[in-house]
Amino acid sequence: MAEKRDYYEVLGLGKNASDDEIKKAYRKLARQYHPDVNKADDAEAKFKEVKEAYDVLSDSGQRARYDQYGHVDPNQGMGGGFSGGDFGGFGDIFDMFFGGGGGRRDPNAPQRGNDLQYTMTVEFKEAVFGKEADITIPRTENCDTCFGSGAKPGTKPETCSVCHGSGQQEVVQNTPFGRMVNRRACSQCGGKGQIIKEKCSTCSGSGKVKKQRKIHVKIPAGVDDGAQLRMTGEGEGGLRGGPSGDLYIVIRVKPHDFFEREGDDIYCEIPLTFAQVALGDEIEIPTLTEKVKLKIPAGTQTGTYFRLKGKGVPKLRGIGQGDQHIKVVVVTPSKLSDEQKDLLRQFAALDGEQTHENEQSFFDRMKRAFRGD
């Protein structure tokens, strides 16, 4: 068997990585290698490797042991709580990230609510200048009547008498190979560890209700396409007093007809006539906020960029703004009157007698390329 890679290396982190960094790295890599989305042959193996690294490093006890002893020999039976066979079937990728994960836990322990994701499409300029909006998201919240317990007001859920609250039952079977002990979810309480005798009528005993919840969102100026805003505690309600999950708002920015954006900088193209660039001109340019005057010097070539400092997008973190870059595109007229044609012919005849240093070197270079130099 190939030698195991260092768990930190697997997640691309240093030994001092914080819990948050570990979680982030895991989410990113698990998304990348999840067999639902990645069809490469080694995706499953990679995914398991990432999962194993995360399982160990996200548990402070196991992480401390790993930091001290490294990979424990699996033959000693005290590995990081992971073995190939344990990992039967991959859940739906959405469940993975937004379902709080599996694992055997105390059925009575508080459980954090699920995270939710909402995609919000905004106009180009709304992303530049920021926006406030109310969105409505359907989410599961704790029932107000029973405060999430599921029991009718005035009553309380009782500890299950069969499993004594553990939610698990041991089933002993005698087989030709000896006694086998299986653990399974308690048949009386269904693994919850508690029995609700009188159910809350609002939520039918689930402790949860579906609500359309209006949430006020502040999109900061300067967000870009794909940005993710986290609204702490605005996800689904937790169980048994656990904290609520978070709401992630993914920003999609609509393209603009005239402006293009690259980070904090804005790009645009302006069409100019041959006469404008040859003789020079002063033109008006739209920026994100206003019109500004731009001087086009005589002899400007097509493809030349002009920069308007500070006319770009406000920086999301920090002070200042990007720039606006304006590319000159000289437009060749496609329809000419006879008089215009005559004048151009006269111009061409005159032009042929003159030498232009810049253009000369340009034509020289092209001639050399034709010769194969």
Extract the annotated binding site.
143, 146, 160, 163, 186, 189, 200, 203
* Shortest distance (Å) from residue 111 CB to Zn ion: 17
Residue 203 or 277 with smaller CB distance to Zn ion: 203
Residues in contact with Zn ion, counted by CB under 5 A, come to a total of 12
Residue 44 or 198 with smaller CB distance to Zn ion: 198
* Shortest distance (Å) from residue 240 CB to Zn ion: 13
Among 11, 53, 57, 160, binds Zn ion (CB under 5 A): 160
Site string for Zn ion, 178-207 (x = CB under 5 A): --------x-xx----------x-xx----
- Helix orientation angle between 43-57 and 19-33, rounded to the nearest 10 degrees: 160
Q: Is 143 among the residues that bind Zn ion (CB under 5 A)?
A: yes
Among positions 250-289, residues that touch Zn ion (CB under 5 A) are none
* Shortest distance (Å) from residue 163 CB to Zn ion: 3
Q: Which stretch binds Zn ion (CB under 5 A): 45-53, 87-95, 157-165, 221-229?
A: 157-165
Question: Strand pairing partners for 185?
Answer: 168
Residue 42 or 144 with smaller CB distance to Zn ion: 144
Which among 151, 170, 173 has a CA at the least distance from the CA of 162? 170
* Shortest distance (Å) from residue 59 CB to Zn ion: 27
Q: Is 146 among the residues that bind Zn ion (CB under 5 A)?
A: yes
Q: Which stretch binds Zn ion (CB under 5 A): 94-102, 137-145, 233-241, 338-346?
A: 137-145
Among positions 201-240, residues that touch Zn ion (CB under 5 A) are 202-203
Residue 157 or 322 with smaller CB distance to Zn ion: 157
Tell me which amino acid residue 26 is. Answer: Y
Tell which phi-psi region holds residue 244, choosing left (phi > 0), alpha (psi between -120 and 50) or beta: beta
The answer to whether the beta carbons of residues 100 and 239 sit under 8 Å apart is no
* Shortest distance (Å) from residue 155 CB to Zn ion: 11
Q: Is 120 among the residues that bind Zn ion (CB under 5 A)?
A: no
Among 163, 251, 270, 288, binds Zn ion (CB under 5 A): 163
> Which residues does the annotation place in the binding site for Zn(2+)?
143, 146, 160, 163, 186, 189, 200, 203
Q: In angstroms, rounded to a whole number, what is the distance separating the alpha carbons of residues 260 and 194? A: 58
- Helix orientation angle between 60-69 and 43-57, rounded to the nearest 10 degrees: 100
Residue 239 or 266 with smaller CB distance to Zn ion: 239
Question: Strand pairing partners for 168?
Answer: 185
* Shortest distance (Å) from residue 146 CB to Zn ion: 3
Residue 100 or 205 with smaller CB distance to Zn ion: 205
Among 38, 108, 117, 145, binds Zn ion (CB under 5 A): 145
CA torsion through residues 203, 206, 208, 211, sign: negative
- On the 0-12 / 13-18 / 19+ scale of CB atoms within 10 A, 353 is exposed
* Shortest distance (Å) from residue 67 CB to Zn ion: 38
* Shortest distance (Å) from residue 193 CB to Zn ion: 6
The answer to whether the beta carbons of residues 150 and 203 sit under 8 Å apart is yes
Binding residues for Zn ion (CB under 5 A): 143, 145-146, 160, 162-163, 186, 188-189, 200, 202-203
